[in-house]
Amino acid sequence: MRIAIYCGSSRGLDPIYAATAAEMAAYLAKQGIGIVYGGGNVGIMGVIADAALAAGGEVIGVIPESLLAKELGHGGVTELHVTRTMHERKQKMVDLSDAFIALPGGFGTLDELFETLTWLQLGFHGKPVGLLNVAGFFDHLLTFLDHMSTTGFLKPEHRSSLITETDPEALLQAIRAFQPYTCEKWIDELR
């Protein structure tokens, strides 16, 4: 099994973000789960790669050519795939992964998270998508997703397809138990 980790190229201001990322990566490595990530050697990305490698895990980086120098591509990962574009990067990460987890990050993290969720919603894949809510980092986002659902722009079934936990072990258990929501006729399901 391989899990894609979407996370920041920054460490953030609170040390708990990096500490939890390292804990998550080491936990996955000890479970024999490979990590697919953005290929960088900086921020939470670098923390994820280094912690998983230190725990003996498989780490596959996927980075576009244009960001290779900017993000200081990690030279010590198990495999490093270099793509031409960001779109190719995201597709490659999806193709290589059996599940997805978002950790604290910025626009890129949210872009990856929401594209993967949209693909799940549309049935382009049936893989679990999780969010590790470190120190309440995603609380406002989760409140907004609830608002989207209560105002009729997001089906409750799709809202609940985003697995959210605060503990790496609980998140992995929920990912393993995930069953995707499917609808037979999309139009008939619309409000």
Q: Which residues contact 35 (CB under 8 A, 6 or more apart)?
A: 2, 3, 4, 5, 25, 28, 29, 48, 49, 52, 57, 58, 59, 60
The per-residue pLDDT for 69 is: 76
pLDDT in the model for residue 137: 98
Evaluate whether 101 touches 3 at the Cβ level (below 8 Å): yes
Q: What is the pLDDT of residues 91-135, one digit of tens each?
A: 999 999 999 999 999 999 999 999 999 999 999 999 999 999 999
Residue 140: phi and psi, rounded to 5, are: -65, -35
Q: For residue 182, what pLDDT band results from cuts at 50, 70 and 90?
A: confident
- Residue 161 predicted with pLDDT over 90: yes
Average pLDDT over residues 164-171: 97
Q: What is the pLDDT of residue 186?
A: 54
Residue-level pLDDT at 189: 52
* 179 alpha-carbon distance from chain centroid: 18
- The pTM score is 0.94
Residue 184 pLDDT grade (very low, low, confident, very high; cuts 50, 70, 90)? low
- Mean pLDDT for the stretch of residues 33-53: 97
Per-residue pLDDT, 188 = 52
pLDDT > 90 fraction of the chain, expressed in percent and rounded = 91
pLDDT value for 4: 98
Mean pLDDT in the chain? Answer: 94
CATH code linked to domain 2-88+102-176: 3.40.50.450
Q: Which residues pair with 130 in a beta bridge?
A: 101, 163
Judged against a pLDDT cut of 70, whether residue 28 lies above it is answered with yes
pLDDT for the residue numbered 72:
84
